[in-house]
Structure 1
Amino acid sequence: MDLHEFPRPEGDTGIGIHWSFGEPAATGLRRLRQRWLPLLKLLGVKWVRFRHAGGETLAELLLDHDIMPIVQLRRFAPYPGRPAEGLEEVVRSYVALGVRYFELGERLDDPRAWQDAHIPADAVSRLVEPLRADVEMVLEAGGLPGLPASLDLQEKWDLIGALCRAGHAELLRAGVWQAYSMHVGNLPLEYPDDPVNLMGRPLSADEYEEALAEEWPGHAWGGMSRQEVNQERLRRRDPDATVATISAGWRRYEALDLRIRRHLGRSIPILGTAGGPRLGDRLDPRYPALTPQRHAEQVLAISRALMGTSPEHSPAPGYLFCAAFSVLGNYALGNFEPAFEDWAWVSPRWERGRLPVVELLGAEPKRARLLAEPLSPVPAEEAVAVMSGVALGAGSSRADDFVEPEVGRPLYELLRPVGGDEEEAYVIPPTFAPEPFAFWPPASLQGKLKGGAGRKVLLSLARDGSMQEAVVGQDETFVFRNLRPGVYALRVDGTNLEISRISLASGDEKYLELEMPAWRWHITKRPASLGFAMVLCSVEGKTGLPVRIWNEVWDGMERLTGSKPALGPYYCELAPLAAGRYWLQPRGIAPAVELELETDAIFEVVFTPICRPEPAPSASPESAPAGEAETAPSAAGLDLYLLLARPLASKEELSAVLRFIQRHTPACGFSVEEASWARRVLIVGGANLRVTEDDEQFLRQRGCQVRRVAEHVAETLTLLARQGDPMTDVTADITA
């Protein structure tokens, strides 16, 4: 098979995720649909790798939403034993669902995958016949087998070479692919061709301090001083490094492809099925550790390279099909092995229950890969040959700081201290000399705050706390210009609306769509000898409103406002609770509020409405009769509301919704509270989703006429778009 004959998902971004180290469907179908599938779509994930046992439900759900499963076939016995006898039936059952990609076994160079946790000297030769049989079994069942990965790419782990020498080259050309373990560490994507590795570029004081500015439990430089880091950079510079000689780094797939082409005469698909940047990685002390923000930036850089949208890196080659980052979840996905919790992107350990990469990758614009092959990089020796013979002092841009290199010596040999101050003065190739700020393209941030005209928006730079402010105009827009590169936080004054991490690179122009919240909240804590934690919640003006509290591993409890009148007319009590991170949400009126609860403490959360400007008086000369009060939701003037219980699942559903809106002009959204002000509400989606049966009953109590379209959404809305009454029951026409 040629590369173009291997299937790819529709709208392929190349972004993948390693699901977990446990059973793939441990959370149950409902949570997969409600929580995890929307998250995968938000992240732009198009490839998901998971273990084979019990994964059929997940595989079917992924395929229904144009996401490609990669099924890892776990072995019955350690290497070099064969998989379980029934595994062929497992493969056939997956193939019947539409799964094509099957990864054969564990990582080759992991001792835990071998008998007695010992890797024999002739490990690869022992695997040739067992893996040949595995490949044939998967091919005969209709799948595409993937050869197991290894972190070590030395010749002793050249499995494809061993299979070719045994006469199986044609078998490898029949639909086989290679799994790739992404051992990235804290190395930059261009490694080994970056200036730190090639020439030992020194670390500036600003760079050192910037890496330390982010708050997290570790130390970005492992406790090393800047002088120690620079000494390490000088000592370990390697101008002769190539992708074939490195033991870690994103670009190791290039060396793997070179080996494959040497044996087979062409490329086969390489799928990154595990690994990638990991929080806290400090594999190489010359570079800062992967703090939460740097971890996110590393994942973003790889994702942009895959999509071909990176302004800094060449598009990933077509033979690299995907990068499945490890791991989406551990405890949160039902695997309770503590050793893997630090790997998880979603975890109760992290602030807000997830790493920053979830927000940043979710906000990143997604584009299907163009699959154009990148230009070949300029070899390192050519790059040195074309360098100017002029070098600058660190951070300098002045002509009188030029240093004349010694004739006949490569420029990188001159990377030594000059002058009396070894901390500050180094000879730096001009190609990499820092530019003054005045020559950096500044960044900008623009946005729209719906319903927020006249509000003050505050933007602060995380590095130094410096703050700017802008006032939202009458057109509800705001703008910040001439911004330095860095990580920012944006907050709307007088509200709890805040976006904590906005990453801006030089020249970036970003745009935000925000909506002015209707509510704000205030949290107070006081000690109490209870033996547990307690939450008291008040929602001003609301009685009988459900308030829910939950965490990542517990569905939570609900109480009604007003059920604790001794504290106040709108209070409820949620207790007893263990210490830990929770989320609290009054139904339909505010986003979830994160709480870090402590034993023997009472947390009081008070929600109050945010005052909004009164609408302009009506121009109509007629007015309502004196004393007439609002007695029903329809008094607000809202006739029809299309309430979406879930995101639209297909283009057909989207087209049907647009036809319905064009015909009946309803308000449309996801808010039960907004819908309660309409005379008629049409719910799209089943009762087990975002809009529950309790929500439906709440709407009826408010006086709304309610109807739900739980199945055949596209067909039903298409028929209703032709009807005069949008609440007509057309079920009989659909099922006829």
Structure 2
Amino acid sequence: MRIEDFPRPRDDNGRGLHWSTLLYNDAVTPSIDHWVDQLRAMKIKWLKVLDDGGGSAMALCRKLVAADIMPVIRFYFPQLNPHRMSGREMETVSRYVEFGVRYFEANNEPDLPAEWRNNSRPFNWLDVVVENFIRDADGVLARGGLLALPPMGPGSSDNPVSLVVQKGRRDLFENGCWVAIHNYTLNHPLDYPDDPVNQTGQPVTQAEYDELAAWAHSDLTYDEIVAQGIPISAEDYGKFNRWGWDGRPREIVNETRARNKNPGATILDDANCFRGFEAAGKMIHDALGFYVPVISTEGGAVVGWGDDNRYAKMNPTTHKEAMLEITRFMQSRAPAWYFACCTWLIASKPLGDFNPTWDQMSWYTDAWNL
């Protein structure tokens, strides 16, 4: 299959989201139709959806297909590795394919011990994962589905594509298999690792430090809060100060930037960023000599993340700015083989998931309101 032979939604713009973390959609409020309307209003064209292996997301996906939104189905099982798809899951693939669902995932971040039974990842884990992928891919392709090479954890440098080729199964990528990635931004800028903080240790100015420090819950200044009559004291608002830096003084931030700069670093040295898709593309082309579709089945910016202490945490304002730029990039500048970025995460509580961690990461949430 050529890139242009892979199915894409009508009026595709590369814009995607990740649906709920739940396997079942019987507690969605106010209704699934409401959320499909929200997706259409945002012009979302791809949606990552979890399924229990028996078609638990089928009713939702029928509505998505009718709305010209392309589902990407992940068959979810906790600590699933080592795992091969069962006859039940293969039959579910056939049922999905009948009404236009084509993209499937059967594994998730197998480079992480947490994705293995008893948190025990064997020394030959990659060989096990690739052998199981080959077996699963034969079954999925035979049923008209398109199976993803499993996504590794953010920033992974493992190259499972080359191992598939070494095992004599390059044909899988010639006949419909694609590559899933998880290119979260963390709290890195979108041009990372080429940005001046990473390359040269550029110090943060007092003005920039102050601007990014205080937005734990709101993009409002205290004067704007007073004007709107929101009942919060200046003292309480002041407690938010330096949240974005986890309380680190500007001097410490700049010392860290100077000490941890990485002159000359490229995406191949550190793919823990949105541009991780570039590393995936090189991995694919080096192994195959051609490209197959890459889809971010998780990724993008997440409010509250602050993994790299040279940068401020991602706040609601910087999250919005990052996601707008990612959306523009996907719509007009993404390589032809980078199909979509299914950003984590549309919503939690309204979709029946009351896990506070997921709620804080959601687009539709009150977690960051004053």
- TM-score strictly above 0.5: yes
What's 1:3 paired with?
3
Q: Does the CA contact (< 8 Å) of 1:279 and 1:291 recur in 2?
A: yes
How far did 1:242 drift? 0.4
What secondary structure is seen at the aligned counterpart in 2 of 1:193? coil
How far did 1:118 drift? 1.3
Q: Structure 2 matches for 1:352-371, cutoff 5 A?
A: none
Alignment deviations for residues 292-320 of structure 1 (CA, whole Å, 9 cap, x no partner)? 11111111111111112xxxxxx221111
What's 1:122 paired with?
124
Q: Partner amino acid for 1:231?
A: E
The structure-2 alpha-carbon separation of the partners of 1:215 and 1:135, relative to structure 1 and needing over 3 Å to count, comes to closer
Q: Does 1:137 align with 2:139?
A: yes
Alignment deviations for residues 32-84 of structure 1 (CA, whole Å, 9 cap, x no partner)? 11x21121122221100011231111111111111110011235972112223
The structure-2 alpha-carbon separation of the partners of 1:20 and 1:316, relative to structure 1 and needing over 3 Å to count, comes to same
What's 1:23 paired with?
23
Pairing partner for 2:369 from 332, 351, 372: 351
What's 1:275 paired with?
299
How far did 1:161 drift? 1.5
Pairing partner for 1:243 from 267, 292, 295: 267
The structure-2 alpha-carbon separation of the partners of 1:172 and 1:93, relative to structure 1 and needing over 3 Å to count, comes to same
2-structure distance, mates of 1:29, 1:101? 27
The structure-2 alpha-carbon separation of the partners of 1:300 and 1:152, relative to structure 1 and needing over 3 Å to count, comes to closer
Task: Calculate the TM-score normalised by the size of structure 1.
Answer: 0.45
What's 2:335 paired with?
317
What secondary structure is seen at the aligned counterpart in 2 of 1:341? helix
What's 1:205 paired with?
206
What's 2:191 paired with?
190
1-structure distance, mates of 2:255, 2:8? 46
What's 1:327 paired with?
345
What secondary structure is seen at the aligned counterpart in 1 of 2:105? strand
What's 2:173 paired with?
172
What's 2:72 paired with?
70
What's 1:233 paired with?
257
Q: Does the CA contact (< 8 Å) of 2:187 and 2:314 recur in 1?
A: yes
The structure-2 alpha-carbon separation of the partners of 1:265 and 1:90, relative to structure 1 and needing over 3 Å to count, comes to same
What secondary structure is seen at the aligned counterpart in 1 of 2:81? coil
Q: Does 1:104 align with 2:106?
A: yes
Q: Structure 2 matches for 1:686-705, cutoff 5 A?
A: none
Q: Structure 2 matches for 1:372-387, cutoff 5 A?
A: none
Q: Partner amino acid for 2:101?
A: V
Q: Structure 2 matches for 1:300-699, cutoff 5 A?
A: 300-308=324-332, 315-351=333-369
Q: Structure 2 matches for 1:8-87, cutoff 5 A?
A: 8-27=8-27, 31-33=31-33, 35-53=34-52, 54-75=56-77, 78-87=80-89
Instruction: Point out where structure 2 has 5 or more consecutive residues left out of the alignment.
Output: 218-239
Q: Does the CA contact (< 8 Å) of 1:341 and 1:347 recur in 2?
A: yes
Instruction: Point out where structure 1 has 5 or more consecutive residues left out of the alignment.
Output: 309-314, 353-736
Alignment deviations for residues 214-258 of structure 1 (CA, whole Å, 9 cap, x no partner)? 352571122122222221111112112000000411111111111
Q: Partner amino acid for 1:9?
A: P
2-structure distance, mates of 1:188, 1:339? 23
Q: Does 1:223 align with 2:225?
A: no
The structure-2 alpha-carbon separation of the partners of 1:76 and 1:29, relative to structure 1 and needing over 3 Å to count, comes to same
How far did 1:203 drift? 1.4
Q: Partner amino acid for 1:46?
A: K
Alignment deviations for residues 437-494 of structure 1 (CA, whole Å, 9 cap, x no partner)? xxxxxxxxxxxxxxxxxxxxxxxxxxxxxxxxxxxxxxxxxxxxxxxxxxxxxxxxxx
Q: Partner amino acid for 1:132?
A: I
What secondary structure is seen at the aligned counterpart in 2 of 1:347? coil
Q: Does the CA contact (< 8 Å) of 2:84 and 2:132 recur in 1?
A: yes
1-structure distance, mates of 2:84, 2:194? 41
2-structure distance, mates of 1:76, 1:190? 34
Measured on the aligned residues, the alpha-carbon RMSD in Å equals: 2.0
2-structure distance, mates of 1:307, 1:171? 28
Between Structure 1 and Structure 2, the one with more helix by share is 2
Q: Does 1:299 align with 2:323?
A: yes
Higher relative contact order (CA 8 A, sep 6+): 2
What secondary structure is seen at the aligned counterpart in 2 of 1:220? helix
Q: Partner amino acid for 1:200?
A: G
What's 2:159 paired with?
158
1-structure distance, mates of 2:145, 2:156? 29
The structure-2 alpha-carbon separation of the partners of 1:341 and 1:30, relative to structure 1 and needing over 3 Å to count, comes to closer
Alignment deviations for residues 1-38 of structure 1 (CA, whole Å, 9 cap, x no partner)? 111111111111211111011025233597111x2112
Alignment deviations for residues 128-176 of structure 1 (CA, whole Å, 9 cap, x no partner)? 2221111011101111111110125555x32211111111011222111
Matched residue count: 344
Q: Does the CA contact (< 8 Å) of 1:23 and 1:334 recur in 2?
A: no
